[in-house]
Structure 1
Amino acid sequence: MVWETPYLSYAVRELPKGCQLCVRGEKLVLFTTGKCPRDCFYCPLSPWRREDVVYANERPVKSVDDVIEEAMIQEAKGAGVTGGDPLARLDRTVQYIRALKEAFGEDFHVHLYTTGALATKKNLEKLYDAGLDEIRFHPDLFNPNSKLFKVEIENIKNAFDFDWDVGGEIPSVPGQFERMKWYAEFLDSLGAKFLNVNELEFSETNLRNLLDRGYRPISDESSAIKGSLELGLKLLEWGEENTSLSYHLCTAKLKDAVQLRNRLRRMARNVAKPYMEITEDGTLRFGIAEYDDLDELYEFLVSEAEVPEEWLHINREKGRIEMPEEVALELAEAVEGDVRFFIVEEYPTFDRIEVERIPLP
C-alpha cells in the first residue's frame, strides 16, 4: 500500500533510516566534492559546486573542525554524504565520516550517495571501516549502453559483502518507467532494502537540457517537472506488488517546505542573537539601521536616543547596526537625517541569505 507521509512525500513500507532523519531536518548535508565520473543531463548542481569543493550545509569547509561545528549548530543526528560522487575523493570522504563518528558516537547515522563507478570492494571496505551506515547507488540508469553503466552495476554487487543498509536513489524521469522498473527488480534480486525516487526538478544548470528534451514545469511557480510525481507514484504502486523493497518518493514540496524548514528551525535556536526573533519558518527577523559612519550612529543611538547597548550590535561585515524589530520601528519614527531603517529576515545558515527586507518610513 502506498501511504502519504506527514512530510508531503509518499512511501511503500518504511522509510530508510537516512530519510527518517533527513525529513525532520536532523541530517547534516556533507558535500565532499563536485567531481563526478558522469555528466547526467538532469544534474542540478550549480557551476561552483561542480568544482572540487567541500560544504557542510551552506558552509564552505576548510577543515574537519568546520564540519563538526556545523553539525553542532544544527544539532544533527546524522549526515548525508553527497557530491558529485564522494568516492571521487575517497580519502577525504572517509576522513570526514570517521571524524563525525568519533565526535558524535556510533549512533550518529551516516548515509552516502554514489554513482557506483568507483565502488570497488577495496573502496567500499574503507567506507565501511570508517563507519558508514547506509549506501545509496545512482547508476547511469538512463544511459544503459554506456561502459560506465556496466561497471556501476557490477560494483553495486560488491556492497552486499558488508553489514550496512544498501539501496538505490534515482530521479523520476518521465518516459523512463521500464528502466526504473528494471532497476527496482535488480536491487530486489540482490537483497537491497530500499529504492528512493526523487521528483525531478528544474535548476539553473539543467534547465536547457531538460527543455531540449521536451520536459516542462508543472506551473510557473514550481520547479517540479510535469509528470515526474505521477510516474513516481506509478512505480511505487508497481513496486509494492512486485518487489519486497521499501520505497520513498521524495517530492519537491518535501525538500522546500518540510526538510529545509525543519533544518532551519534547529539551526536558528543555536545562532539567534537575543535581539532576533525566530519565525515559524526558522528564519531570523530583526531590525537594522544603515549609515555611512557606524561608530557615529552607534554613539548617537546609545547617548542621544538612549537605546541600551545590549540591544545593539554593529555588523561591520554587512555595514549595519542590528537591533530588535520593535526598537527599529520606534527609531524610524524618531530619528531624522540619512539613517535608513529596515526590518530584515535571514536564513540562520552560514551564508545568511536575506529573504525579506522591509524599509521603514
Structure 2
Amino acid sequence: MVRETPYFSYAVRELPKGCQLCVRGEKLVLFTTGVCPRDCFYCPLSPWRREDVVYANERPVKRVDDIIEEASLQEAKGAGVTGGDPLARLDRTVEYIKLLKENFGEDFHVHLYTTGALATRKNLEKLYDAGLDEIRFHPDLFNPNSRLFKVEIENMKNAFDFDWDVGGEIPSIPGQFEGMKWYAEFLDNLGAKFLNVNELEFSESTLKTLLDRGFQPVSDESAAIKGSLELGLKLLEWGEENTSLSYHLCTAKLKDAVQLRNRLKRMAKKMAKPYMEITEEGTLRFGIAEYGDLDELYEFLVEEAEVPAEWLYVNREKGRIEMPEEVAVELADAVEGDVKFFIVEEYPTWDGLEVERIPLP
C-alpha cells in the first residue's frame, strides 16, 4: 500500500538507497554542469546555473579540493550528481566520482541523474568503472514523438548491462498521467528497481512560463503546483497494483522541511563558532554590530564596554563584528551613537545566506 514516510513523502515498497541518504541530509549535491541536451519548460535552474558551471551544494567549485572540503563539512555519506545533464561533461563527472570514492571509500554512495540522451554504452561503462552506484533516467515524456526521446529510451536499455541500481525520476505534471504510466511499465519491463516522482514547483525562472501554461500554485504561501501531488499519489496507487517497482513521491515539503534542514544541521555542527547558537532549523543565530570603522568599534567594545575579546569576531568581509546574541542585546541597551545592533540567522553554508535580521533594541 502507499504509505506516508516520516519525511512528508509517500512511498511504495523500499526507498532507493540514494533517497534514504538524501532525506537524512547525508547527500552532497554535486552539480557538474548546467549544460543539457534539452530545454524543459519546467526546469527550475536559475539563469546562472544554466551555464557550464560546477557547484558542491551552494559552493562554486574552482578546484577539486572544494568538493572534498564541502563533503567533509557536511559529513556526507554520499553524493547526488546532477545538472543540467552530467553526461554532457562526462570526463569531468567521471573524475569527480572517482575523487569522491578515493577520498571517502567505496561505501560512499553516488547516484546520478541523466536525460539518457548521451547514455551510450561506452559512456555508461565509464561511469560504472568510476564507481557510480545508482543511475536515474529522466526522458522527455512531453515529446514522445521526438527523435531525442527515442534516443533517450533506446539508450536506457544500455544501463541494464551493468551491476548498479537503475531507476527513473520524473516530475508529476498535471495532465501527464498516461505518459507517466507508460514510463513506469517500460521501466518495470526492463527490470528497473524504482521510479521517483517529484512534486512540481514554481521557481523564479519558471513562474511566468508555468502560469502561461495554466498551472496554478497550491496556495499563496506555497511554490507547489496544484494537482501535482494528487497526480503523483494516483500514479503510486496504480503502480503498486500494476508493477513491481518501488516508488517514492518526493514532496515540496520534504525538500524544504526535511532534506535541507537535516543537511544544514549536519553542516552547522562544523560551521558554528563558539558564540553562535544552532537553531532547530539548522541555522546559525548570533548578534552583530555594524559601524563605519570596525577597528575603532572593536577597540571601544573591548576597552570601554569591557567585552571579553574572545566573545568578538571581526568579520571584515561582511563589515560587522559578531558576538553572542545576549551580548548584542545588552550592548544595544548600553551603547549610544551610530552603532547598530542586530540578531541574525544565517545558513551554515558556503554563501552564509542570511534568512532573518532583527534590529535591536
Q: Give the equivalent residue in structure 1 for 2:331.
A: 331
CA distance in 2 between partners of 1:206 and 1:340 (Å): 38
The 2-side partners of 1:72 and 1:97 are apart by 15
Residue type of the partner of 2:266?
Answer: R
Letter in 2 for 1:305: A
2:78 corresponds to 1:54: no
Amino acid corresponding to residue 152 of structure 1 in structure 2: E
Partner residue, 2:75:
75
Partner of 2:224: 224
The Cα of 1:221 is off from its aligned counterpart by 0.5
Measure, in 2, the Cα distance between the counterparts of 1:98 and 1:261.
28
Deviations 1:57-79 (A, max 9, x none): 00000111000000000000000
Q: Partners of 2:228 and 2:338 in 1: how far apart?
A: 52
Match of 1:222, SS state, is: coil
Shift of 1:213: 1.3
Q: Which amino acid aligns with 2:109?
A: H
Alignment correspondent of 1:244: 244
1:188 alignment partner in structure 2: 188
Residue of structure 2 equivalent to 1:315 = 315
Matched letter for residue 351 of structure 1 = D
| Aligned partner of residue 44 in structure 1, secondary structure | coil
Q: Which runs of 5+ in 2 are unaligned?
A: none
Deviation at 1:91, TM superposition (A): 0.5
Q: Which residue in the other structure is 2:87 paired with? A: 87
Provide Cα deviations, 1:333-358, integer angstroms capped at 9, x if missing partner: 11111110000000001111100000
Aligned counterparts, 1:93-172, within 5 A: 93-172=93-172
Query: Residue 299 of structure 2 aligns to a residue in which SS?
Result: helix
| Counterpart for residue 305 of structure 1 | 305
Matched residue SS, 2:302: helix
Matching of residues 210-221 of structure 1 within 5 Å: 210-221=210-221
- Per the alignment, in what secondary structure is the counterpart of residue 232 of structure 1? helix
Alpha-carbon separation, structure 2, partners of 1:209 and 1:332: 47
Q: How many residues are matched? A: 361
- CA–CA separation in structure 2 for the residues paired with 1:44 and 1:311: 42
The 5 Å alignment of 1:270-285 reads 270-285=270-285
Provide the C-alpha distance between the structure 2 equivalents of 1:82 and 1:201, rounded to a whole number of angstroms: 18
CA deviation vs aligned residue, 1:224-274 (integer Å, no higher than 9, x gap): 000000000000000000000000000000001000000000000000000
- Structure 1 residue 146 displacement after superposition: 1.0
Q: What is the letter of the counterpart of residue 196 of structure 1?
A: N
Once residues 232 and 296 of structure 1 are traced to their aligned partners in structure 2, the CA distance between those partners, rounded to angstroms, is: 59
| Corresponding residue of 1:10 | 10
Q: Bigger shift: 206-215 or 217-226?
A: 206-215
Structure 1 window deviating more from structure 2 (204-213 vs 246-255): it is 204-213
Partner AA of 1:95 in structure 2: E
Distance 1:122 1:208 in 2: 39
After superposing on structure 2, the runs of 4+ consecutive aligned residues of structure 1 that deviate more than 2 Å are none
* CA distance in 2 between partners of 1:53 and 1:352 (Å): 20
Deviation readout 1:91-140 (Å, 9 max, x if unpaired): 00001000000000000000000000000000000000000000000001
TM-score with structure 1 setting the length: 1.00
When the two chains are superposed, the root-mean-square deviation of aligned CA atoms in Å is: 0.5
Per-residue CA deviation, residues 150-193 of structure 1 (Å, 9 max, x unaligned), is 00000000000000000000000101100000000000000000
Q: Distance in 1 between matches of 2:26 and 2:193?
A: 21
Match of 2:178 in 1: 178
